[in-house]
């Protein structure tokens, strides 16, 4: 940026029409006429009334700037309420509903245009908004609360790529405001899950050595894994609970954001071959402690400690272990500390999700297995690493990677026939080998053994999508999001399945939400481009293609065709037809 660039603080509004593709597909000229009518008769006059400036319009989208955040919020409420009245006598399938995002932030002035993080966040809030509603950032809500007659509901914090801190989101909807006859919106994130539910926050590393961070994280994740195997207890996945790592959050806030009733937090101190673990179970409704304990043990007894923590939580929450769950815990013995350490280091590498990290993970797992040939989870994880390398064409992966993965799965199951990770690895292996029925059976077995295993629900949803069972796929993927609310990749998979169902509006909304949370996704963009191709929005499709080439110059539709194991080639043909219709160079 040049030294002469101008900046200012402003309220930014980003809005677009929900379901625009469907409306245009049904009646292109009529839809354009209706949109222009709403703009001329209602929206533009409200913008002027509240001292707003139209920065630019892009098809069904509009970007506004206000000097006052209160003016921006009042304008948007007036617009949305007015739109509800204008839509009242129109059939639901023909209503024009806007999604609106409002942010208060620093902007860069570029002639009549504006740029910067303030604008980007507003656009991502719009993508997270429900049709007919308004989504605002936390700083907007702080400025306007108690100064508006509209009720905003807190919906948690959302990670936004290239923005340092998570963005807190508040939503207003016609339903929350008691306006009758409006589209039903998704329940806010603060709605608690039915029945017992828990999130395990990353345990603090009290070893005085930052290099031991992986060990504290590993203990936390093992406890998550142990708890997730308890039937009747919903356990939030690591990906979402670890979003609070390095923070000191209010537990009641965590429970609202993750929609759980309880939180487990604690600390780990490792010294030589000894480990001290403290754990506290907290009631999210009042922040009160339900149970707390400290364990000083040898590292060989780490599984015993994890079992005791699980049993204490089960007792505190008045749950009951099944006979199978009790037998499985009783059968766990001591662990080789060196092998366990290699395993934890490997798992830490896997989460970095790069080719180099996968190489490091393989090395650590090879050492773990050499030290303890009975560590079933090490075989399973090594099989998963081979599948990841195959899917991403990393480290020279070829067909032999999947053969090796299958060998490792068989070793894991021979060691422990009830290891959920092994069935998860089997599901992935069979999926990439295009044996989708066997893959689905393996995933279902993993869920039987580990009912809160979010990754398996994602895998099963993906498998069902490739098998042509798209509606069932969406159901499983939504379950994955329930268990792992911050796993935005599931939104991409949901959008892909909805695309195959020809539910273009729903698919567009899912993919836009994914891009709001993960702006660098090439696959979300390419499926969105295919939607635009099928619905006549060819210029938007071409814009997305240019962005894809900037993000990933090596992106190849031919490789996507080779990798995605659709049972019915017509599914991929439908995808490719959308790109072809938009004139994209596939």
Q: Which tens digit of pLDDT belongs to each residue from 185-202?
A: 333 334 456 689 999 999
Average pLDDT, integer, range 294-311: 84
Per the CB < 8 A criterion, the answer to whether 112 and 51 are in contact is: no
More confident position, 310 or 164:
310
- Per-residue pLDDT tens digits for 114-154: 888 889 899 888 888 888 999 999 889 888 877 887 778 77
φ and ψ at residue 421, rounded to 5 degrees: -60, -35
Q: Which residues contact 496 (CB under 8 A, 6 or more apart)?
A: 465, 507, 527
* Identical fold, 336-450 and 490-586: yes
pLDDT, the chain, mean: 87
CATH class given for the domain over 6-172 = alpha beta
What is the C-alpha to C-alpha distance for residues 586 and 574, in angstroms, rounded to an integer? 14
pLDDT at 179 over 50: no
Class of domain 336-450: mainly alpha
Tokens of 346: 């490997």
- CB-based contact 221:238 (threshold 8 Å): yes
Tens of pLDDT, residues 387-403: 999 988 898 887 788 99
What is the pTM (predicted TM-score) of this model?
A: 0.74
- As a whole number of angstroms, the distance between CA 160 and CA 166 comes to 6
* Token couple for 554: 């090596």
Which class is 211-335 in CATH?
A: alpha beta
Alpha-helical segments (H) within 337-451: 337-350, 355-371, 376-392, 399-415, 420-432, 436-449
- Summarize the confidence of residues 512-533 as an average pLDDT: 91
Of 449, 451, 480, nearest to 464 by C-alpha is 480
Domain extent listing, the chain: 6-172, 211-335, 336-450, 490-586
- Using CA atoms, how far apart are residues 283 and 255, in angstroms rounded to an integer? 9
pLDDT at position 212 is: 83
490-586 placed in CATH 2.160.10.10: no
Report the pLDDT value the prediction gives residue 162, as an integer from 0 to 100. Answer: 57
pLDDT at 74: 93
Q: How far apart are CA 504 and CA 514, in angstroms?
A: 15
Across the range 49-58, mean pLDDT stands at 92
pLDDT one-digit tens code per residue, 423-454: 999 999 999 999 999 999 999 999 999 999 99
Average pLDDT, stretch 322-334? 72
Residue 539 neighbours by CB under 8 Å, 6+ apart: 59
């Amino acid at each position: 940026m040049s030294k002469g660039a101008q900046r200012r603080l402003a309220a930014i509004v980003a809005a677009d029409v929900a379901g625009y593709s469907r409306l245009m597909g049904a009646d292109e000229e009529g839809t354009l006429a209706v949109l222009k009518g709403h703009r001329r008769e209602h929206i533009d006059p409200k913008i002027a009334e509240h001292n707003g400036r139209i920065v630019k319009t892009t098809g069904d989208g509009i970007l506004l700037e206000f000097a006052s955040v209160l003016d921006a919020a009042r304008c948007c409420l007036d617009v949305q309420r007015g739109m509800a009245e204008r839509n009242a006598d129109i059939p639901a399938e023909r209503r024009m509903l806007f999604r609106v995002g409002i942010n208060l932030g620093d902007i860069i002035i570029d002639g009549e245009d504006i740029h910067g993080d303030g604008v980007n966040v507003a656009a991502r809030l719009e993508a997270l908004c429900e049709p007919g509603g308004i989504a605002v950032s936390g700083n907007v809500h702080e400025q306007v609360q108690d100064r508006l007659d509209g009720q905003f509901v807190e919906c948690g914090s959302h990670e936004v790529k290239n923005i340092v801190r998570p963005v807190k989101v508040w939503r207003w909807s016609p339903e929350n405001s008691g306006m009758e006859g409006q589209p039903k919106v998704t329940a806010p994130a603060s709605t608690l899950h039915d029945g017992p539910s828990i999130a395990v926050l990353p345990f603090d590393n009290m070893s005085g050595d930052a290099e031991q961070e992986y060990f504290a994280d590993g203990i936390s994740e093992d406890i998550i894994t142990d708890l997730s195997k308890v039937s009747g207890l919903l356990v939030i996945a690591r990906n979402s609970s670890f979003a609070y790592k390095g923070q000191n959050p209010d537990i009641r806030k965590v429970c609202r954001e993750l929609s759980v009733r309880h939180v487990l937090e604690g600390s780990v101190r490792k010294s030589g071959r000894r480990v001290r673990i403290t754990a506290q179970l907290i009631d999210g409704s009042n922040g009160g402690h339900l149970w707390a304990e400290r364990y000083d043990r040898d590292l060989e007894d780490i599984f015993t400690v994890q079992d005791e923590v699980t049993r204490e939580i089960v007792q505190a929450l008045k749950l009951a272990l099944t006979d199978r769950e009790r037998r499985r815990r009783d059968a766990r013995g001591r662990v080789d500390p060196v092998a366990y350490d290699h395993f934890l280091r490997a798992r830490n590498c896997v989460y970095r999700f790069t080719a180099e990290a996968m190489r490091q993970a393989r090395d650590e797992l090879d050492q773990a297995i050499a030290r303890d040939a009975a560590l079933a989870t090490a075989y399973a994880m090594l099989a998963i690493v081979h599948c990841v390398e195959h899917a991403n064409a990393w480290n020279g992966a070829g067909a032999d990677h999947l053969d090796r993965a299958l060998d490792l799965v068989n070793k894991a199951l021979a060691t422990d026939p009830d290891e959920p990770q092994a069935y998860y690895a089997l599901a992935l292996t069979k999926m990439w080998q295009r044996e989708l029925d066997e893959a689905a059976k393996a995933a279902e077995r993993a869920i039987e053994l580990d009912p809160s295993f979010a990754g398996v629900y994602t895998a099963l949803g993906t498998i069902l999508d490739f098998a042509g069972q798209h509606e069932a796929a969406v159901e499983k993927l939504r379950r994955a999001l329930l268990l792992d609310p911050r796993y935005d990749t599931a939104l991409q998979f949901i959008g892909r399945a909805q695309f195959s169902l020809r539910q273009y509006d729903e698919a567009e909304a899912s993919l836009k939400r994914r891009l709001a949370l993960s702006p660098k996704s090439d696959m979300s963009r390419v499926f969105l481009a295919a939607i635009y191709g099928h619905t006549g929005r060819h210029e938007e499709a071409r814009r997305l293609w240019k962005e894809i080439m900037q993000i990933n110059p090596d992106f190849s539709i031919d490789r996507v065709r080779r990798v995605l194991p659709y049972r019915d080639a017509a599914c991929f043909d439908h995808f490719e037809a959308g790109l072809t219709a938009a004139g994209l160079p596939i």
